[in-house]
Amino acid sequence: MSFRHLRAVIRKEINHILRDRATFFLVILAPLAMLFIFAYGLTVDIKHVPVAVLDYDHTSTSRSFIQRITEGKDLDLYAYVDTLDKINDLLTQDEIKAAVIIGADFERNLLALRGMPLQIVIDGTEPESGGFAVEQIGGRAEALINELLAARIAGEGQALSLQPIDLHVHALYNPALKPRVDMIPGLISMMLGFPALSVALTLAHEREHGTLEQILVTPVGRAEFLLGKMIPYMIVGLANVIVMPAIARATFHIPFNGSFLLFFLLSIVFLFAILSMGMLIGVFMPTQPAALALSFLIIFFPGFFMTGIFFPITSMPEMMRMEALTMPGTHYAIITRGVFLPGVGLDVLWPYAVMLIGLGIAFTAAAAFFFRKKLG
């Protein structure tokens, strides 16, 4: 290993990153832009769902119930209607996402504690908003019944102030159960796929532009060349590792409870694994479009579905779980979430670090093995 060769390749590659606009965008701006787009786009909190009400009861109880469900920011009262057809029209015209139908005996049944004649109609084409409406209305109906029961018990002279059902849910590390808090650390692991994509592209770029041919006739060693190309992207990746948690904290109020030093060191291990994977892609792909397509196929798409960012790995079929373990992103997503939220240390995360080192060594060995100093 010649240090002079390595330094020459690194310097050349850094100049390429800084001077080639497409590369600069891809490695420096794209991860940050994507982090914002994904974080805002995929995790919008549902609010102000328009709801129509059909009240057959017309009592003070039914009116106070309607008042109860439409106060606050969650559900908005769009209109009172008097027929089922009207609800249908409003749903098909996309004016409302849900409708509440209050039965004629609402007050009587409720006060007699015989149940609650209530129907909720939702727009099944948008299950997110519909499900949210069901949850909200159901929750408030339950609260109303609890109050009535408590009042009844109190009215019968029994000195009980407790409510019949009193469940306290305490979500650890993410008390408000906001989706972003859980997803953004996962997204950070995906955004670091961009430096890996760039490594794949830069090797294919050299092959396409013939510069590889000129490199191959020099005495530069394979390891010197491949490492020299990887190290600049490692540096860029680490810059992202510093900037992205800062953005997560400042913009999305994601807590960072663990040790930053540990996070930084484990990020180096992850970048080693994912950049080696990019290098392996670049070794095999003859052109940049081919390298791009394969990178998306094996770095980004599995990142969505298999690394557990959006879907828990434990709910995957056995085969997919095995495959997920070969993806560096799977392990790193666990590391980022662990360090960000519960703030766990190496005592918990070491198996994932070991897996990443193993994958990195395997990918680098494969890249060095298949990269020959020959054309064709």
Partner 1 sequence: MENTSPIIETHALTRDFRKTRAVDGLTLSIWPGELFGVVGPDGAGKTTTLRLLAGLLDITSGSAQVAGYDLARYPEAIKRRIGYMAQQFSLYSELSVMENLTFFAELYDVPTDELQERMEQLLAFAGLTEFKDRRAAQLSGGMQKKLALACTLIHQPEILLLDEPTTGVDPVSRREFWDILTDLNLRGSTIIVSTPYMDEADRCMRVGLMYEGRLVVCDTPQQIRAHIEGELIELRPQDWQAAHTLIAALPGVFEVQTYGELLHVLVDSADKRLPEIKIALEEHDLVCRDIRRATPRMEEAFISLIKRIKHLESETEGE
Q: Which residues bind to partner 1, rule: CB under 8 A?
A: 2, 4-5, 7-8, 11-12, 15-16, 19-20, 209-220, 373-376
Instruction: State the nearest-atom distance from the C-beta of 244 to partner 1, in Å.
Output: 28
Residue 79 or 215 with smaller CB distance to partner 1: 215
Residue 157 or 219 with smaller CB distance to partner 1: 219
Pairing assessment for the beta strands 98-102 and 118-122 based on DSSP bridges: antiparallel
Residue 13 or 57 with smaller CB distance to partner 1: 13
Instruction: State the nearest-atom distance from the C-beta of 285 to partner 1, in Å.
Output: 19
Residue 125 or 287 with smaller CB distance to partner 1: 287
Q: How far is the C-alpha of 136 from the C-alpha of 66, rounded, in Å?
A: 12
Long-range contact set of residues 102-106: C-beta below 8 Å, sequence gap at least 24: 102/53, 102/54, 102/55, 102/56, 102/57, 102/62, 102/65, 102/66, 103/56, 103/57, 104/56, 104/57, 105/57, 106/56, 106/57, 106/59, 106/61, 106/62, 106/65
Instruction: State the nearest-atom distance from the C-beta of 170 to partner 1, in Å.
Output: 56
Residue 209 or 253 with smaller CB distance to partner 1: 209
Closest-CA residue to 280 (of 197, 167, 339, 345):
197
Q: CA 362 → CA 21, 235, 355, distances in Å?
A: 32, 21, 10
Residue reference for tokens 């193993």: 358
Residue 51 or 227 with smaller CB distance to partner 1: 227
Instruction: State the nearest-atom distance from the C-beta of 194 to partner 1, in Å.
Output: 20
Instruction: State the nearest-atom distance from the C-beta of 367 to partner 1, in Å.
Output: 19
Residue 193 or 282 with smaller CB distance to partner 1: 282
Bridge-partner residues for 121, per DSSP?
99
CB 35 within 8 A of CB 247: yes
Helices (H) and strands (E) in the chain, counts: 17, 4
For the CA atoms of 205, 209, 211, 212, what is the dihedral angle to 10 degrees?
Answer: 60
Instruction: State the nearest-atom distance from the C-beta of 280 to partner 1, in Å.
Output: 22
Closest-CA residue to 107 (of 150, 66, 157):
66
Residue 7 or 152 with smaller CB distance to partner 1: 7
Exposed (0-12), middle (13-18) or buried (19+): which is 24, by Cβ within 10 Å?
A: middle
Instruction: State the nearest-atom distance from the C-beta of 292 to partner 1, in Å.
Output: 20
Instruction: State the nearest-atom distance from the C-beta of 243 to partner 1, in Å.
Output: 25
DSSP string, 237-258: HHHHHHHHHHHHHHHH-----S
Residue 12 or 63 with smaller CB distance to partner 1: 12
Quick one: the chain helix, strand, coil %, rounded to 5?
A: 65, 5, 25
Instruction: State the nearest-atom distance from the C-beta of 355 to partner 1, in Å.
Output: 36
